[in-house]
Chain A
Amino acid sequence: EAGVAQSPRYKIIEKRQSVAFWCNPISGHATLYWYQQILGQGPKLLIQFQNNGVVDDSQLPKDRFSAERLKGVDSTLKIQPAKLEDSAVYLCASSLGGTATYNEQFFGPGTRLTVL
């Protein structure tokens, strides 16, 4: 079974530039998550999708971050314009979704963003 795919793996940009990350979840997984992991910290949830709808985006800095999952499969996360403090690893994860108490989340390898 193929895992969660993310691209690019690395990105270096200057502040005020724009950047986009792509994620393809595991086939059949209804729920998709984007996390931000700053060096030395645990992942922080940015946004959660259930199919093509947003479940929670309360921690997404909406003045500069946006995300979409138009067809309920792959997803893009965009930052425009980037700030120095956006330097982090952006992780995508997916899970089956459904009514179980807990659904295991499977993580992609992440995109390491450096803002200069």
Chain B
Amino acid sequence: TQLLEQSPQFLSIQEGENLTVYCNSSSVFSSLQWYRQEPGEGPVLLVTVVTGGEVKKLKRLTFQFGDARKDSSLHITAAQPGDTGLYLCAGAGGSARQLTFGSGTQLTVLP
């Protein structure tokens, strides 16, 4: 069974601060996705990383896939209240291309 551990589980910061969320596994994934989920909604895809060592930027968000494709990080620069939400990493693997989700990081950005 593939498991993904996210840390921290909860994070509360002030507007303008930087933060990093980690996603770790002992398993290798063919690709890894980051989602954001807001209350009462389903997860929405932010980014997919495929190649070991890959770095992708989405405005103030920077995503990195580990060289061995077992871990990933999400860095947010100058966080804003609109960044508040549950951030989920999900690894894809297997012939059915299923997703294994981490437990999530609940981020709260205070104005």
Contact = CB atoms under 8 A, between A and B. Distances in A.
A104 B45 contact: yes
Contacts of A106: 45
B82 interface: no
B42 A107 contact: yes
Contacts, number: 58
Nearest to B6: A42
A45 B97 contact: no
Contact of A102 (B4, B50, B100, B103): B50
Interface residues of B, number: 25
Interface of A: 4, 9, 40-45, 48, 55-56, 91, 93, 101-110, 112
Interface of B: 4, 6, 30-31, 33, 40-45, 48, 50, 88, 90, 92, 96-104
Given A41-B104, A102-B33, A108-B42, 11 more contacts: A9-B40, A40-B104, A45-B100, A91-B43, A93-B42, A102-B31, A102-B50, A103-B97, A106-B45, A107-B43, A110-B40
